[in-house]
Structure 1
Amino acid sequence: MTRLWWVRHGPTHEKAFVGWRDVPADLSNQPLIDRVSAYLPQDAIVVSSDLIRASATADAIGQERRRLPNLPGLREFNFGDWDGLHFDEVAKRDPALSRRFWEEPGDLAPPGGESWNAVAQRVNDAVAQLCTAHSGSDIVLVAHIGVIMTQIQKAAACHAYDAMGHKIDNLSVTDMSVKNGEWQIGKINHLP
């Protein structure tokens, strides 16, 4: 069995869409970082998105664990033209699309960005490669809210809209496992 421990990166304090924009995480809450690190299996390998908010978080919680190179496949949604805009600005700019993007996740994408299905496929491919290369291991993956939600959808075999209904706090842990192609979901949004 391969166990995956998804950790959402530290907070960015942004009040706008943050997709591929490379903004740093606030990693000043050392007691929480220490609790997250202590909660994760000590013999796990650690990998993260290549965006600085995730890679810096992985470095902070990784401690003595083996660190794999950052994976662009674990990046957050590419929000295209919406990246950097406040949610209200997006709603004014693209009222019908912005509403449908959240209510009907699937093939709809922001202008110049990625759809739910495109992100899910990208992340599924990266996870499949990791699970093949490190079968039977504990893998800590530091990534983003959208990425984690796509994996909840896969592991829980639920609709994307239902997966999006889960709260995923910064520095929370969501665990799941796979054995012989069968996925199981564990705790979602656990704050140690």
Structure 2
Amino acid sequence: MTTLWLVRHGPTHQKTMTGWRDVPADLSDRDALARLQAYLPAGALIVSSDLIRAVTTADAIAGPRRRLPHDPALREIDFGAWDGLAGDVVAARDPVLSRQFWDQPGDIAAPAGESWNAVTARVGTAIDAHIARHRPAHLVVVAHVGAIMSQIPRATRETASQSMRHRIDPLGVTDMTLTAAGWRLGRINHLA
């Protein structure tokens, strides 16, 4: 049996769309990090996206856990030309496309960016590869809100629109277990 512990990186305090832009996490809440570290299984393996906000969060909660190399396939959705722009700026710049991007997630992508289906496939393939290499195991994946949301349908069979409605807070944990019968969802967005 393999359990995924999908952890969102620490807060960035960004007020704009933040995809592949490499911004740091605020890891000043040492108590929250200590609670998260204590909550996660001690013998788990830990892997993160290669973006600094995920790397530093993973390092902060790793403790005695074996740290796997950073994986760029675990990055946030690539917002392309929208990365770094506020939502109202994106809506003014691309009113129809931006509305479709959020209301009809699937193959629609930001200009020079990535679609929901692309991020789902990219992150899913990466997670499957880690599972294949380390099964059975507890695998802590420190990633991003979009990357985490994209994997919830493995266990729920939700649509992309339904999955995007979940709240995934900084340092929130979503756990899923792979059993002989398939994926079983535990808690979404648990804050330790």
> Would the TM-score normalized by the shorter structure come out above 0.5?
yes
Where does structure 1 differ by over 4 angstroms across 4 or more consecutive aligned residues? none
- Number of the residue aligned with 1:31: 31
Q: Deviations over 1:114-160 (max 9, x none)?
A: 00000000011001101101111000000000000001122211101
Give the secondary-structure state (helix, strand or coil) at the position aligned to 1:142. Answer: strand
Structure 1 match to 2:63:
63
1:149 aligned to 2:149?
A: yes
The equivalent residue for 2:21 is 21
Higher mean C-alpha displacement, 173-182 vs 112-121: 173-182
Number of the residue aligned with 2:165: 165
- 1:99 is matched with which residue? 99
User: Structure 1-normalised TM-score?
Assistant: 0.98
Q: Give the aligned length.
A: 192
1:8 matched to 2:8? The reply is yes
Q: 2:160 & 2:151 partners in 1: Cα distance?
A: 10
Q: Look up the equivalent residue of 1:122 and give its one-letter code.
A: R
| Runs of 5+ consecutive residues of structure 2 not aligned to the other structure | none
How far is 1:35 from its partner? 0.2
Supply the AA of the counterpart residue of 1:51. Answer: L
> Normalization by structure 2: what TM-score?
0.98
Q: Distance in 1 between matches of 2:126 and 2:51?
A: 15
Matches within 5 A, 1:174-185: 174-180=174-180, 182-185=182-185
User: What is residue 120 of structure 1 aligned with on the other side?
Assistant: 120
Letter in 1 for 2:75: R
The percentage of aligned residue pairs carrying the same residue is 57
- Equivalent residue of 1:151, what SS? coil
| Partner SS, residue 150 of structure 2 | helix
Structure 1: gaps spanning 5 or more residues: none
Q: Which whole-Å CA distance do the structure 1 matches of 2:154 and 2:75 have between them?
A: 17
